[in-house]
Structure 1
Amino acid sequence: MTVLEGTATVLVEHDAASRVATVTLNRPEKRNALSLALMGELIEVFREIGERRDVTVVVLAGAGPVFSAGHDLGEMTGRSVEDYRQIFDRCCELMELIQSVPQPVIARVHGIATAAGCQLAATCDLVVAEEGARFGTPGVRIGLFCSTPMVALTRVVGRKRAMQMLLTGVPVDAPTAADWGLVNEVVPADRLEARARELAEQIATASSVVTGIGKEAFYAQIDRDQHAAYDYAKTVMTMNALADDAQEGIGAFLEKRTPSWSDR
């Protein structure tokens, strides 16, 4: 059964059978610009999803012609320092939340993902893009360097490529984004929704407690030096091995049967 939830600007579709939720930015008339209100709604949605046991994977999409054009520039003129701080605080809170929820999040990108929209895609655990999609950080061209998008972008494409995007503001196409590590897969536009769903359902066949452990461990170890990363990872694997689903999965493999997950 598919259940529709959410608000006027954030739609949530939950497929109970696959345990996949699709979260859709629903401001097509504003190119899904990340207004303060929209970011607040997304934060509430992801907080709620993070607590749910019936959702194991999330697909993040955009309604209308583009994924997201970034911050709502209508909110970026003539404001006080407190106003700007609130906007960027909320943006950073959203990005960190997406990586801290236990469910893997797949960005389904079409059209453009620019500035904070590029940051949003780069923040997600996986990205599937259609062939015509473009990714960019054009803030330098309007006098507002993409400093917060830079954090996510640098961590997925590396220093030199990130600096090229940040300093020129010139967008890169989907195949280039895939070559640089920003995108996992590029597919024809008419295959985008189906491929993102297929990928989500492949992930959802695993135990949700195990993918949650793995996602948390990935981000916890990634910036540590190698010795510290191994020291952390071996502790995680030791505790993971004690989980009911680890014992079930190992037993099922040895017995050549399909595992029956309890999500514990």
Structure 2
Amino acid sequence: MADEVRYEVSGPVATVTMNRPEYRNAQNSAMTYALDAAFTRAVDDDEVKVVVLAGAGKHFSAGHDIGTPGRDVDRSFERKAVLWWDHVGKEGGDQRYAREMEVYLGMCRRWREIPKPTIAMVQGACIAGGLMLAWVCDLIVASDDAFFADPVVRMGIPGVEYFAHPWVLGPRAAKEFLFTGGRFDAAWALQRGMVNRVVPREELQKETQALAEQVATMPRFGLALTKRAVNQAEDQMGLRAGMDSVFGLHHFAHAHNAETAKDSLAGMDARSMRDASGS
């Protein structure tokens, strides 16, 4: 497991912590595969009943790494999420599609199916790719200073790769969320059912641990089957098929940008995206 992720166990609860606080836990591939290794470790440990996903420092996650010194888009890792060729050495849409299908859409779907309950513990920024990391979890506990945004429409792209917006927010709130690209606070997210609980920042870890321990009192196999039942119902409501269709639109937008703008991100970088979303 790489330094980008920490792994700790307390009683029946494993806490997996993203550990790039200096970059607001921006997600590069090294972090992605370290997260996967940590989740695998928790699944294989029979003493662990519940998994908490956290972010070190002030923020949960500012999203995909699109500009730190640790950005590693040209690096190969052991592929686990989808059966496709490596993106390294490929060109154009071939390269981007292969990478994003693996490290973004594929990994998020893999983590959504973890057979143990998962709880996202969110403070500060949860932006764009950070939403994907929180949304794959079964429950979300947010601090009162948490805020959420998906500003990638500013790039001309219809939302992040794991397009769960209409299911976690409802269609109209999802449109407001995407059309404005602005910051929405934890109270707004709670009102729309995107998070389960909002607690004071200083109580976030304690309250999340208490919820995890409460869930952990239930039978392990019963929890696994219940999680699968709800996920299957959500898929029957169109989540998986809808996500596949939007993934195609997502890549069409990248291709359009590459032909008409400075690059596939429409010339935007981490700083301009941060400034545009007011975070």
TM-score normalised over the length of structure 2 = 0.73
- Alignment length (residue pairs): 217
* Alignment RMSD: 2.0
* Aligned equivalent of 2:140, options 121, 127, 130: 127
Tell me, yes or no, if the aligned pair for 1:76 and 1:84 is still in contact at 8 Å: no
Letter in 2 for 1:193: Q
Cα drift, residue 112 of structure 1: 0.8
Bigger relative contact order, structure 1 or 2 (CA pairs below 8 A, ≥6 apart): 2
Aligned match of 1:193: 205
Letter in 2 for 1:107: A
Gaps of 5+ in 2: 75-90, 238-279
- Matching of residue 8 in structure 1 with residue 3 in structure 2: yes
* Aligned equivalent of 1:113, options 122, 126, 143: 126
Tell me, yes or no, if the aligned pair for 1:47 and 1:97 is still in contact at 8 Å: no
2:12 and 2:169 map into 1 onto residues whose CA distance is 31
Larger CA deviation: 38-47 vs 102-111: 38-47
Letter in 2 for 1:25: M
Q: How does 1:165-204 map to 2 (within 5 A)?
A: 165-204=177-216
Helix, strand or coil at the partner of 1:103: coil
Cα drift, residue 30 of structure 1: 1.2
* Aligned equivalent of 2:14, options 18, 21, 27: 21
Gaps of 5+ in 1: 1-5, 226-264
Tell me, yes or no, if the aligned pair for 1:31 and 1:69 is still in contact at 8 Å: yes
1:57 and 1:155 map into 2 onto residues whose CA distance is 23
- Matching of residue 39 in structure 1 with residue 51 in structure 2: no
Aligned match of 2:226: 214
Letter in 2 for 1:45: A
Instruction: Among all aligned residue pairs of Structure 1 and Structure 2, give the percentage whose two residues are the same amino acid.
Output: 37
1:134 and 1:185 map into 2 onto residues whose CA distance is 13
Cα distance, 1:124–1:53 mapped onto 2, change above 3 Å: same
Letter in 2 for 1:97: R
Q: How does 1:219-238 map to 2 (within 5 A)?
A: 219-224=231-236
Cα drift, residue 160 of structure 1: 1.1
Aligned match of 2:111: 98
Letter in 2 for 1:138: P
2:186 and 2:114 map into 1 onto residues whose CA distance is 27
Letter in 2 for 1:110: Q
Letter in 2 for 1:53: D
Cα distance, 1:80–1:31 mapped onto 2, change above 3 Å: farther
Aligned match of 1:57: 50
TM-score normalised over the length of structure 1 = 0.77
Superposed structure 1 runs of 4+ greater than 6 Å apart: 76-79
Cα distance, 1:214–1:207 mapped onto 2, change above 3 Å: same
1:188 and 1:49 map into 2 onto residues whose CA distance is 28
Deviations 1:205-264 (CA, angstroms, capped at 9, x unpaired): 111111011111110123437xxxxxxxxxxxxxxxxxxxxxxxxxxxxxxxxxxxxxxx
Helix, strand or coil at the partner of 1:23: strand
1:77 and 1:36 map into 2 onto residues whose CA distance is 7
Cα drift, residue 48 of structure 1: 3.0
Tell me, yes or no, if the aligned pair for 1:36 and 1:87 is still in contact at 8 Å: no
